[in-house]
Amino acid sequence: MAETSITDIEKQITELRSQMERITSVLADRGEDLLEQAEEGLHSVADNTRVAVRHVQHEASAVADAARENPIVTSTAVLTIAGLAFAAGYLTGIGQADRTRRWRF
């Protein structure tokens, strides 16, 4: 009876080793699949980034060319934006000022 149980245990050990090998193989294959998917995703992001950079460079070049061709319009636009930003900041500052410390004329 002891001999039978040792044989059974040896069979179970062999079976377990076989299962471990299959599990290891499946996990290795899955890891390779995930790596390939990650590389494909990375290449896709890199390609999209290159396209976006080219587009931004083209647009920036077009804006710079327009500014060179129309310096007066460019100056006017910059000064107008600066004036509006100053006015917004001034009005915000006045709105937040302590009302008891206002100057009286």
Give the model's pLDDT for residue 100.
57
pLDDT at 73: 92
Reported as a pLDDT band with limits 50, 70 and 90, residue 22 is very high
Q: pTM, whole model, 2 decimals?
A: 0.48
d(CA 96, CA 88): 12
Question: What is the per-residue pLDDT across 85-100, written as a single tens digit (0 to 9) for each?
Answer: 999 999 988 877 666 5
Per-residue pLDDT tens digits for 39-82? 999 999 999 999 999 999 999 999 999 989 999 999 999 999 99
Residue 103: CA count within 13 A, CB half-sphere: 2
CA distances from 101 to 58, 67, 88, 91, 92 (A): 52, 45, 21, 16, 16
- Per-residue pLDDT, 81: 96
What pLDDT score does 79 carry?
A: 96
Tell me the per-residue pLDDT of 7-18, one tens digit each, with 9 for 90 and over. Answer: 888 899 999 999
CA 97 to chain centroid, in Å, comes to 40
